Every structure is written in C-alpha cells, then in structure tokens.
Amino acid sequence: MVKKYIVRLSEEERSLLRGIVKKLKGTSQKVQRANILLKADVGGSNWSDAKIAEALSCRTQTVENIRRRFVTEGLDAVLNRKKRKTPPRPKILDGKQEAEIIALRLGKPPTGFANWTLRLMAEQIVELGIVDSISYETVRRTLKKTV
C-alpha cells in the first residue's frame, strides 16, 4: 500500500525524539507518539503501520493519524496536545452579573436572617432579576473566585 503521508525526520528531530523515549520525558502519550514517529521514519526504521501498531500496542489508525498530523502540522503539534478553543460549557454569568452578586453578598442580608446563605443568595438573585435561574453552587463558585 502506498502511504500518503511519509515521515521524514531531520537529525535534530530524531535526536529530540530519542531523548524523549530514552528518558521517558513527558506523558505516556508523548512517549508513545515519539516512538511511533521514530519507527515510521523513512530515514530510520521505516516500519509498516501494522508492525508499529503491533509493537506499541495501538491501532493502525493511531499510527496513520500521527503520520498525517506530523506531515500537515509539524512535530510540536504531534507531541503536545492542542489547547481547546472554546470551553466545554458556556459561562453562566458575565462580568456584570458576577459584580452584582458580589455586591449583594457585601450588603445586609434580608430581615429575619443574620447571614447570607448560598441558597438564600440564589433565591435573592433570581428575585432581583439578575439571572433567570441559578444554583447555589454557581453562587459559591462565583464568590470563591473573588475571595
């Protein structure tokens, strides 16, 4: 089978990868990816994808993905995980709403209460119309960031 993405490592890249593998420097994923690139190198071992997968106990698809990513994005992109562009969940509160919650906390509690509780604050925040609904846990996290 003709490979579409061929790994050609420079001497500098090869020595860097050998150092990672030899010292087990970094995460186990990083070490395994370094091993895969070293075995797939045309100027070095030049193993087949199936042989690499068998030797390193991974799938051939993993080897192909690492090959493709190395050729298209470079060595750094293969070894290190890419940062997430957006958070997994959107923020519940914006800066203005957080400021209003902090201001509410610094004010006096309603009559009949000696102190603010998280549940009391959550109820008060909804009553004041700062947000439509909020859990006491969100109130706790918001206040904890500022303390």
pLDDT in tens, 84-132: 888 888 888 999 999 999 999 999 999 999 999 999 999 999 999 999 9
What average pLDDT does this structure show over 69-86? 90
Residue-number span of the structural domain to which 120 is assigned: 95-142
| Residue 137 to residues 91, 92, 125, 134, Cα–Cα distance (Å) | 14, 12, 13, 8
In a domain, 87, yes or no: no
The torsion defined by the Cα of 52, 55, 56 and 57, in degrees rounded to 10, comes to 110
Say whether both 24 and 72 belong to one domain. yes
Say whether both 46 and 104 belong to one domain. no
Say whether both 52 and 102 belong to one domain. no
pTM of the model: 0.62
pLDDT in tens, 14-64: 999 999 999 998 899 999 999 999 999 998 888 999 999 999 999 999 999
3-state secondary structure of 56: helix
What does the pLDDT read at residue 56?
Answer: 93
Q: Round to whole Å and give the CA distance between 22 and 34.
A: 10
Helix (H) / strand (E) element for 79: namely helix 75-79
* Tokens, residue 44: 């070095």
Q: Round to whole Å and give the CA distance between 57 and 9.
A: 23
* Total number of domains constituting the chain: 2
In a domain, 45, yes or no: yes
Q: Round to whole Å and give the CA distance between 22 and 114.
A: 63
Contact at 8 Å (CB) between 104 and 121? yes
What does the pLDDT read at residue 63?
Answer: 94
What does the pLDDT read at residue 1?
Answer: 59
Secondary-structure percent of the chain, ordered helix, strand, coil, rounded to 5? 60, 0, 40
In a domain, 70, yes or no: yes
Say whether both 61 and 117 belong to one domain. no
Residue 2 has pLDDT above 70, yes or no: no
What does the pLDDT read at residue 85?
Answer: 86
In a domain, 109, yes or no: yes
